[in-house]
Amino acid sequence: MIKMMICIECPKSCALAVEIDNGKVIRVQGSKCPKGAAYAALEVQDPARILTATIVSEGLSLKLIPVRTNKPIPKKDLLRAMEEIKKINIKAPVKAGDIIIKNLLGLGVKVVATRAVQ
Ligand code: SF4
């Protein structure tokens, strides 16, 4: 089976033709550097993404505080992660980089604020 995907490792956005057999990458065509093959292998075997979201605040200057995970999390866990983040309500001022959740879903991933809100 050939799966088409776009490498998102850099702005060149190479179109990759990824040959897959039994859930494993056999060959990658179309990449302009070795990162394309590594990206394709991860995308096929263990896809993950940095999650960006907002958290509701109470009594602060912004009603929604932008946050992101400090590492990619498995794509299969993204919806559960969003549900967990939605449960949070921030009442005290935060600085950019403040840890809002220490261990999201037990994945060893932090959720951090990406801007200061007073
Ligand atoms: S394969 Fe290499 S050059 Fe192409 S988008 Fe990925 S990182 Fe960039």
pLDDT in tens, the chain (118 residues): 999 999 999 999 999 999 999 989 999 999 999 999 999 999 999 899 999 999 999 999 999 999 999 999 999 999 999 999 999 999 999 999 999 999 999 999 999 999 999 9
Give the Å distance between the CA of 39 and the centre of ligand 1.
Answer: 9
Residues 85 and 102 grouped into a single domain: yes
Q: Is residue 14 in contact with ligand 1, taking CB distance under 6 Å?
A: yes
Question: Among 25, 28, 35, which residue has the most ligand 1 atoms within 8 Å of its CB, making it the best to mutate?
Answer: 35
Per the structure, how many domains does the chain have?
Answer: 2
CB contact set of 85 (below 8 Å; sequence gap of 6+): 51, 53, 55, 67, 101, 104, 111
Has this prediction a pTM greater than 0.75? yes
CB contact set of 43 (below 8 Å; sequence gap of 6+): 5, 18
Q: CATH number, domain at 107?
A: 3.10.530.10
Residues 74 and 105 grouped into a single domain: yes
Residue 42 β-bridge partners: none
Q: Which atom of ligand 1 is nearest to the CA of 39?
A: 6
Which residues form the domain of 6?
Answer: 2-46
The secondary structure of residue 81, as a DSSP letter, is H
Q: Is residue 42 in contact with ligand 1, taking CB distance under 6 Å?
A: no
SS3 state of residue 70: coil
Identify the burial level of 113 via C-beta atoms within 10 angstroms of its C-beta, where 0-12 means exposed, 13-18 middle and 19 or more buried: buried
Task: Establish if 118 belongs to a structural domain.
Answer: no
